[in-house]
Amino acid sequence: MESPERCQSGSSASAVSISPSDSNSAIPHDGAVTTDPARPTEREVVAAAIVVDGRLLLAQRVRPPELAGQWELPGGKVEPGETAAAALVREIREELAIEVVGAQRVGVDVPLSNGLVLRAYRTSLVSGTPRALDHAAVKWVDATELGAMDLVENDRAWLAELAAMLREPSSAPS
């Protein structure tokens, strides 16, 4: 497993495995969130909370223009017939050229426009060095740094859970 300090930005793509779930937190929404498991089935957008040694991997958006420069959990849309876990693997491989595993839910559902719902999942880095293939940059942050980041609004719904997760003894630097 690569250390967080070895992230690169703007590198060319190379094939690396990834694990489930993908997210596109650039989709505008009304700010409401829900934890209602009885909601009708929506099209899912997944976001990967990739944690290594008490640090979370964030990606800096390049589009749309109104979100360019802001930071997010990487991910994207779940394709028809695809599981959230498979979408996480695919999207993270495409966007960061790394392999991840796991799909443990984090925080609340974030309703988006057009019947989409954004969900965050904790994942673990299995192999590769994160590279910004679809973003301006990637950055590892600890719980303190996370609070100072200019996160996209949708991802702010999970700020408290993400910070608490980074402070857990099991994710603290060794």
**174 located within any domain:** no
Residue 25: predicted pLDDT: 37
Distance (Å) of CA 158 to CA 47, 56, 169: 11, 13, 19
Q: Summarize pLDDT for 140-160 with one digit per residue, the tens.
A: 999 999 999 999 999 999 999
pLDDT at 173: 54
pTM of structure: 0.75
pLDDT digit string, tens, across residues 117-129: 999 999 999 999 9
Residue 76 lies in domain? 4-30+40-166
Total number of domains constituting the chain: 1
Between 88 and 28, name the one with better pLDDT: 88
In a domain, 75, yes or no: yes
Task: Provide, for the chain, the percentages of residues in helix, strand and coil under a 3-state DSSP scheme, each rounded to the nearest 5.
Answer: 20, 35, 45
In a domain, 59, yes or no: yes
Which amino acid makes up residue 63? Answer: R
Residue 42: per-residue pLDDT: 74
CATH at residue 128 = 3.90.79.10
The predicted model gives 70-91 an average pLDDT of: 98
Rounded to an integer, what distance in angstroms lies between the CA atom of residue 142 and that of residue 86? 27
What are the CA-CA distances from residue 137 to residues 22, 30, 34, 65, 125 (Å)?
Answer: 18, 27, 30, 16, 18
- Residue 101, pLDDT > 70, answer yes
